[in-house]
């Protein structure tokens, strides 16, 4: 046994629907600007003919299970929700072709890519990294993993409400880069591994929440998610 000076960080994990074993988390990848209407609302329209997808990552320690209360994070006055479909990778894959992309999928989940929008936009416009805007403690919210091995989801409602009022309502069929394309492209850069999650991007309608708000959302045929925004930590 390796002796550590102090206890190493716990392995992050999510429940798996219908199973007692949990899904251990390796890395958290996020696709930026992957619905046209959201790219436009952010002032950065996408031309798929000349652009490739881009990504950012968050630390696995930012993971928070659906149903929890997260403290309103520090150093923001514009804390946004982003409802996203999440792909859970179950097998290793490097330079995976679009045709074979399904073969490394374990399942799906519904996720929230919580964002300090004020800090993200400052970083974006100054050409700085997005970490302070995106890599937020408790800011990667996710439901249980729903096993759907080898399946590609290419359509279905994706929606979010704040305090019962609809804010986002779209369809996964509006992804600019679909699940096959994302896995093929991301696996050019990374040796994907079991336990990696890919948040596939958010549709239009993003907006701010404040302490006391309750977020609910869903990805049809996958899962329903909820998050309570607590007082500032
Ligand atoms: Mn996002």
Structure tokens at 159: 């929606």
Cβ atoms of 68 and 78 within 8 Å: the answer is no
Give the integer Cα–Cα distance in Å for 88 and 1: 30
Distance 87 CA to ligand 1 centre (A): 13
Cβ atoms of 58 and 218 within 8 Å: the answer is no
Distance 40 CA to ligand 1 centre (A): 14
Give the integer Cα–Cα distance in Å for 24 and 196: 9
Structure tokens at 100: 């074979």
Distance 55 CA to ligand 1 centre (A): 9
Q: What is the pLDDT of residues 165-219, one digit of tens each?
A: 999 999 999 999 999 999 999 999 999 999 999 999 999 999 999 999 999 999 9
Distance 32 CA to ligand 1 centre (A): 6
- SS3 (DSSP) at 208: strand
Distance 148 CA to ligand 1 centre (A): 23
For position 139, what pLDDT does the model report? 98
Distance 91 CA to ligand 1 centre (A): 24
pLDDT in single tens digits along all 233 residues of the chain: 899 999 998 999 999 999 999 999 999 999 999 999 999 999 999 999 999 999 999 999 999 999 999 999 999 999 999 999 999 999 999 999 999 999 999 999 999 999 999 999 999 999 999 999 999 999 999 999 999 999 999 999 999 999 999 999 999 999 999 999 999 999 999 999 999 999 999 999 999 999 999 999 999 999 999 999 999 98
- What own/partner pairs with CB < 8 Å and gap ≥ 24 does 214-217 have? 214/162, 214/163, 215/81, 215/112, 215/160, 215/161, 215/162, 216/160, 216/161, 216/164, 217/81, 217/83, 217/110, 217/112, 217/158, 217/159, 217/160, 217/161, 217/168
Distance 202 CA to ligand 1 centre (A): 5
The domain spans of the chain are 13-232
Helix or strand (DSSP H, E) at 38: helix 36-41
Distance 98 CA to ligand 1 centre (A): 22
For position 233, what pLDDT does the model report? 80
Distance 201 CA to ligand 1 centre (A): 5
Distance 82 CA to ligand 1 centre (A): 6
Helix or strand (DSSP H, E) at 166: strand 165-171
Instruction: Pick the closest to residue 35 from 184, 218, 222, 169 (CA basis).
Output: 169
Q: What is the pLDDT of residues 118-127, one digit of tens each?
A: 999 999 999 9
Cβ contacts of residue 89 below 8 Å, gap of 6+?
104, 105, 106, 183, 192, 193, 194, 195, 196, 197, 198
For position 1, what pLDDT does the model report? 80
Distance 88 CA to ligand 1 centre (A): 16
Distance 33 CA to ligand 1 centre (A): 7
Q: Give the angle 75-79-85 at the CA atoms, nearest 5°.
A: 130
Distance 22 CA to ligand 1 centre (A): 25
Distance 181 CA to ligand 1 centre (A): 17
For position 181, what pLDDT does the model report? 98
Distance 60 CA to ligand 1 centre (A): 15
Structure tokens at 23: 């899904």
**CATH architecture of the domain with residue range 13-232:** Alpha-Beta Complex (3.90)
**129 Cα distance to chain centroid:** 18
């Amino acid at each position: 046994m390796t002796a550590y000076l102090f206890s190493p960080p716990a392995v992050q994990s999510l429940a798996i629907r219908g199973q007692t074993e949990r899904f251990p988390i390796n890395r958290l990848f996020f696709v930026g600007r992957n619905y046209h209407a959201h790219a436009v609302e952010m002032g950065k329209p996408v031309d798929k003919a000349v652009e490739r997808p881009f990504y950012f990552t968050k630390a696995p320690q930012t993971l928070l299970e659906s149903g929890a209360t997260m403290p309103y994070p520090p150093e923001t006055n514009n804390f946004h929700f982003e409802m996203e479909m999440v792909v859970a990778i179950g097998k290793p894959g490097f330079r995976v072709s679009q045709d074979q992309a399904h073969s490394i999928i374990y399942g799906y989940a519904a996720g929230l890519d919580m964002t300090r929008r004020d800090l993200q936009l400052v970083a974006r416009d100054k050409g700085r990294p997005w970490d302070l805007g995106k890599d937020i403690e408790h800011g990667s919210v996710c439901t249980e993993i729903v096993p759907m091995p080898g399946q590609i989801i290419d359509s279905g409602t994706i929606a979010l409400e704040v305090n019962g009022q609809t804010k986002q309502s779209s369809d996964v069929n509006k992804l600019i880069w679909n699940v096959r394309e994302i896995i093929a492209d991301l696996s050019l850069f990374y040796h994907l591994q079991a336990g990696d999650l890919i948040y596939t991007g958010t549709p239009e309608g993003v907006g701010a929440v404040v302490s006391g708000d309750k977020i609910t959302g869903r990805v049809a045929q996958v899962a329903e998610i909820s998050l309570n925004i607590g007082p500032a930590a």
